[in-house]
Amino acid sequence: MEPVVNGFEEKYTDDVEVLRLNANQNEGQEAFRFYRLQGHPAFVLLNPQGEVLWSGLGVQSAEMLETQAENQLSVP
Protein backbone atom coordinates (compact mmCIF):
# COMPACT_ATOMS: atom_id res chain seq x y z
CA MET A 1 0.00 0.00 0.00
CA GLU A 2 2.55 2.52 1.12
CA PRO A 3 4.81 2.31 -1.96
CA VAL A 4 1.87 3.23 -4.24
CA VAL A 5 1.09 6.29 -2.15
CA ASN A 6 4.78 7.18 -1.88
CA GLY A 7 5.20 7.08 -5.65
CA PHE A 8 2.05 9.14 -6.12
CA GLU A 9 3.21 11.69 -3.57
CA GLU A 10 6.65 11.93 -5.19
CA LYS A 11 5.23 12.37 -8.69
CA TYR A 12 2.70 15.05 -7.69
CA THR A 13 4.68 16.67 -4.88
CA ASP A 14 4.03 20.21 -6.20
CA ASP A 15 0.34 19.60 -6.91
CA VAL A 16 -1.13 17.54 -4.07
CA GLU A 17 -0.85 17.04 -0.35
CA VAL A 18 -0.96 13.44 0.84
CA LEU A 19 -2.27 12.66 4.31
CA ARG A 20 -1.96 9.21 5.78
CA LEU A 21 -4.48 8.48 8.52
CA ASN A 22 -4.70 5.37 10.64
CA ALA A 23 -8.29 4.09 10.84
CA ASN A 24 -7.54 2.77 14.32
CA GLN A 25 -6.71 6.20 15.74
CA ASN A 26 -9.07 9.11 16.51
CA GLU A 27 -8.18 11.29 13.51
CA GLY A 28 -8.55 8.37 11.12
CA GLN A 29 -11.84 7.28 12.66
CA GLU A 30 -13.20 10.80 12.37
CA ALA A 31 -12.20 10.96 8.69
CA PHE A 32 -13.82 7.58 7.99
CA ARG A 33 -17.07 8.75 9.56
CA PHE A 34 -16.97 12.17 7.91
CA TYR A 35 -16.37 10.77 4.40
CA ARG A 36 -18.62 7.73 5.05
CA LEU A 37 -15.89 5.29 4.11
CA GLN A 38 -16.95 1.67 4.51
CA GLY A 39 -13.58 -0.05 4.59
CA HIS A 40 -9.87 0.33 4.22
CA PRO A 41 -7.59 1.10 2.70
CA ALA A 42 -9.52 4.12 1.49
CA PHE A 43 -8.49 7.00 -0.72
CA VAL A 44 -10.16 10.39 -1.03
CA LEU A 45 -9.24 13.19 -3.44
CA LEU A 46 -10.43 16.61 -2.33
CA ASN A 47 -10.36 19.95 -4.08
CA PRO A 48 -8.89 23.00 -2.29
CA GLN A 49 -12.35 23.73 -0.84
CA GLY A 50 -12.45 20.29 0.78
CA GLU A 51 -15.10 18.84 -1.53
CA VAL A 52 -14.77 15.17 -2.45
CA LEU A 53 -13.82 14.69 -6.08
CA TRP A 54 -13.21 10.95 -5.95
CA SER A 55 -12.98 8.19 -3.39
CA GLY A 56 -11.89 4.61 -3.69
CA LEU A 57 -11.92 1.65 -1.33
CA GLY A 58 -9.52 -1.24 -1.32
CA VAL A 59 -6.11 -1.56 -2.87
CA GLN A 60 -5.66 0.93 -5.71
CA SER A 61 -3.01 0.78 -8.39
CA ALA A 62 -0.64 3.65 -9.00
CA GLU A 63 -2.25 4.04 -12.42
CA MET A 64 -5.72 4.43 -10.89
CA LEU A 65 -4.55 7.11 -8.46
CA GLU A 66 -2.72 8.96 -11.22
CA THR A 67 -5.73 8.76 -13.56
CA GLN A 68 -8.04 10.13 -10.89
CA ALA A 69 -5.61 12.91 -10.00
CA GLU A 70 -5.26 13.91 -13.63
CA ASN A 71 -9.00 13.70 -14.31
CA GLN A 72 -10.35 15.21 -11.12
CA LEU A 73 -7.65 17.68 -10.16
CA SER A 74 -6.60 18.67 -13.68
CA VAL A 75 -2.98 17.83 -12.88
CA PRO A 76 -0.94 17.53 -16.08
Q: Which CATH topology does 2-73 take?
A: Glutaredoxin (3.40.30)
Q: Which residues contact 69 (CB under 8 A, 6 or more apart)?
A: 8, 12, 15, 16, 45, 75
pLDDT in tens, the chain (76 residues): 567 788 888 887 777 788 888 889 999 999 999 999 988 888 888 888 888 888 888 988 888 888 888 887 665 5
**Other Cβ atoms within 10 Å of 43 Cβ, number:** 21
Q: Taking the CA of residue 21 as centre, how many other CA atoms within 13 Å lie in the half-sphere pointing to its CB? A: 18
pLDDT of residue 1: 56
Q: What is the pTM of this model?
A: 0.76
Question: What is the Cα–Cα distance from 56 to 69, expressed in whole angstroms?
Answer: 12
